Amino acid sequence: MTPKELSEKARELVGQGWVLLDVRTPEEYRGGHPEAARNIPVQELPQRVKEVGPPGTKVVVYCQAGGRSARAAEILRAHGFADIFDLKSVNNW
């Protein structure tokens, strides 16, 4: 998908009620993020996964460049989350 296609799809999903999850550091998050985003750094995600919601929760995840969001998607899948859309970079929003 192109960045434009990623953006359109992510915005559509969040509009449908999907959780928007920012897995960057709190410092990066404070530097700017989409209004609807929740911040749980990827390194804290295994311990804080319940904050995302129950395993049936649908999630759009992103980070700065795409590496951490891919890792977060793996973590979420391991905890029973099936509907995950990896936006990759916040810049794609």
Q: Is 63 labeled as catalytic in the residue annotation?
A: yes
How far are the Cα atoms of 83, 87 from residue 63, in angstroms, in the given order?
Answer: 18, 8
How many of the other CB atoms lie within 10 Å of CB of 26? 12
pLDDT digits (tens, 9 = 90+) for 7-21: 999 999 999 999 999
Closest CA to 42 of 17, 25, 59: 25
User: pTM for the complete prediction?
Assistant: 0.95
| Catalytic pick among 13, 40, 61, 63 | 63
pLDDT in tens, 38-90: 999 999 999 999 999 999 999 999 999 999 999 999 999 999 999 999 999 99
How many distinct structural domains can be found in the chain?
Answer: 1
CA nearest to 61, candidates 27, 38, 82: 38
The CATH number of the domain holding residue 64 is 3.40.250.10
Domain containing 8 equals 3-92
